[in-house]
Chains A and B, each alone.
Chain A
């Protein structure tokens, strides 16, 4: 049973940020004044704000009629786990925590709805990553045909998963606009964002890794507890984490117990990586801990366990079909770029002088490009006007990724059109019957492929027109340098604009309809698995616990790269957020359910001086599951960087006997860890 979330809560407030009333007014000032006059008479009940408290016998119940705070439980076993843990050389134990994070797109959420007085038409502008999903839900909620609900996601100021859910405000504002026949607008304030917009991560892992004396992994057992917050977004992200727990390694036996638990906190949903950073954090910390217990260099431990290079899919014990990968190559590349052996030498010298230098490595793999299920397709239209200008309509919904540039590049390549003549339109449900949106590093692999296929279809028809114009066979037409030639014949060529003119005018083949456009829906046959290796160097001040991130190097492999500048931008931003999880950010609640990090002075988004210069590199291992060979790059760097930095912090503190430190590794936590070690 999944409890439903009321739009407005008259009876019971389950988290600070639950909605209790809506005020509609002529001006913002009036609305604020009126909201101040709403008196909410609350009786205070006990709250549970973390998963340990929520699971205690007799704990306060978030949903009383549900009878327990445990919403979902599962145990899955693959391979012979009992044998793997039957007298192995060593079992490494750890309790690892992925703290709760907030998305904090710099533009808060906003919704504007306008119902026409004359037609049964509703237009909703929403700062969302999924305009078609919002349209579908609104149409169902308001019992309107989808064609009468138009959702527009204009230029959206960042998302990071926080704009991936349908929110009560979207339904309420649309409802009010229809009821009042006046435009109604709501824009979130930053403090409302911190309270009411979905959070991310919030997982607790009790993990055991069984290893041989030579470092080979025998098996992994994980008890995963996922904090759902007060209302469920499906069964939470635990099952997604489970699918990636083997990371880049051969793991012959795996057991994963999942509990998803309600707490009196903001609902947890996607945040950059969404379930996958948690998996890689777990396995990369366990690998480092195991190497340390065996007295082995963590890089050597990885070398002994990494899956070897593969160009066609391999299936992990958990049943995931990794599409292609070369994990050893990425690892060796980052080690070479960093001069790993030199770094270790300098670390030894520094330690001899009492300095605390740490080197952290992480090998990661990511699961992206969702698909492949039936409803996770992506749509594209490539439409050519009679003057040769091209419109591309995409079902992806970019909010900073640069799809306008990348999709125009894909089309320019197929049609020999100057990108200035290509307009990419997105985020408008009036332009496409269906679309999925932008999340989970899916846009290039699924949406880019749909654009590519539509451009190919247009190219096919254009080729027939060009062949007819040039009196050649279609197979002999080649597109080169912006014009369409007959292969091997000098000077016989037409431009794309000539072809477009013929497509709508005189001179077409007799059996050909007018027009030059194509619509495609691409559903990928499988997921893509970007991967890479990251390396961080930190120095910790032994007197204060203050940390400096001295160097950061990444090697990321997202298959073929459409646009290196855009890909780099995604890596930079991903690194910033992954490093922020390692060092700065955490959503915190008081025991009574009060949010303690309700603004940007308490929730520490990194500022310009907080981050190091990054040194980026890449390997290229094409994906076999789409014709472009692309994977995805939106979340990769976030996934690799949190464990790399935490591994570096623990490595720096290793001489003091510190074995574990939960992110964010703040100076205070580091200081306390140092104090505890000194008192031992």
Chain B
């Protein structure tokens, strides 16, 4: 098959079903940005070192720059565009904005999604659990502290249980 041939790919992104014709070598990152117009997911190193391209696949953090869409036709993909509920920002988005957890904003989509994945499995994580969960997502602006605080604020608002002492 010549590499220029396109193949149909079915993707479920943010709860919407898409069918696109794309060359099979295109990464999920490229398909999201170029074919689906979902440019919230960012290009970073394309080597799996920085996680700027992070999305959720079946609820888990996933590097879209290293993922092939053909492998993910059965999966549920979430991007930052799917976080808000209409005009209502996700609690994490609201907390990030209120506490200044975003500066240049380039890492913010991946940070938000990675934090969401953490809170979905651990609604009141300890500071240490947050640090470990976000370890793969690089931020060059914030020194991370306000990001930790924003995740804690969002967790506190969404949950009635106290934060875990460990893990």
Contact = CB atoms under 8 A, between A and B. Distances in A.
Contacts of B40: none
Nearest to B46: A189
Contacts of B136: 607
Contact of B144 (A156, A157, A608): A608
Interface string B34-46: 0000000011111
Contacts of B145: 572, 611, 613-614
A106 B142 contact: no
Nearest to A188: B43
A104 interface: yes
Interface string B118-133: 0000000000001110
Interface in A88-106: 104-106
Contacts of A614: 143, 145
Interface stretch (B70-78, B102-110, B159-167): B102-110
Interface stretch (A116-124, A371-379, A394-402, A525-533): A394-402
Contact of A600 (B50, B132, B135, B139): B50
Interface in A28-62: 29
Given A106-B106, A402-B103, A609-B135, A601 B143 contact: no
A573 interface: yes
B49 A609 contact: no
Interface string A389-413: 0000000000111100000000000
Contact of B138 (A187, A189, A402, A607): A607
A105 B142 CA distance: 12
A558 to B, nearest CB: 16
A190 B100 contact: no
Interface residues of B, number: 37
Of B23, B52, B131, B143, chain A has the most CB atoms within 10 Å of the CB of: B143
Majority secondary structure of chain B interface residues (helix, strand, loop or mixed): loop
B144 A158 contact: no
A604 B105 CA distance: 21
Interface stretch (A135-143, A492-500, A561-569): A561-569
A618 to B, nearest CB: 16
A195 to B, nearest CB: 13
A105 B50 contact: no
Interface string A130-157: 0000000000000000000000000111
A106 B143 contact: no
Contacts of A155: 104-105
A15 interface: no
B138 A106 contact: yes
A125 interface: no
B144 A106 contact: no
Interface in B87-116: 99-100, 103-107
A608 B45 contact: no
Contacts of B132: 608-609
Contacts of A467: none
B9 to A, nearest CB: 17
A576 interface: yes
A107 B106 contact: yes
B47 A157 contact: no
Contact of A568 (B23, B25, B100): B100
A364 interface: no
Nearest to B136: A607
A574 B103 CA distance: 12
Nearest to A107: B106
Contact of B140 (A158, A565, A613): A158
B141 interface: yes
Contacts of B45: 189-191, 599-600
Given A190-B44, A576-B143, A608 B105 contact: no
Contacts of B135: 607-609
A605 interface: yes
Contacts of B131: 608-609
B134 A106 contact: no
Count chain A CB atoms within 10 A of each CB in B25, B46, B107, B142 and give the residue with the most. B142
Contacts of B10: none
B66 to A, nearest CB: 14
A483 to B, nearest CB: 28
A160 interface: yes
Contacts of B153: none
A105 B130 CA distance: 23
Given A187-B43, A600-B138, A401 B143 contact: no
B100 A106 contact: no
B147 interface: yes
Given A106-B107, A400-B105, A614-B143, A601 B100 contact: no
Interface in A596-621: 599-601, 605, 607-609, 611, 613-614
B87 to A, nearest CB: 15
B143 A572 contact: yes
A454 interface: no
A399 B130 CA distance: 26
Interface string B16-54: 000000010100000000000000001111110110100
Nearest to A30: B4
A400 B143 contact: no
A253 interface: no
Given A158-B106, A191-B45, 5 more contacts: A105-B104, A399-B104, A569-B146, A573-B141, A600-B47
13 contacts: A106-B44, A106-B52, A106-B106, A155-B104, A189-B46, A190-B47, A402-B103, A576-B142, A576-B144, A599-B45, A600-B50, A608-B134, A609-B131
Interface of B: 3, 23, 25, 42-47, 49-50, 52, 99-100, 103-107, 130-132, 134-148
Interface of A: 29, 104-108, 155-158, 160, 187, 189-191, 399-402, 565-566, 568-569, 572-577, 599-601, 605, 607-609, 611, 613-614
A-B pairs, top 8 by smallest CB distance, nearest first, are A400-B104, A157-B106, A400-B103, A576-B143, A572-B143, A190-B45, A600-B49, A608-B134
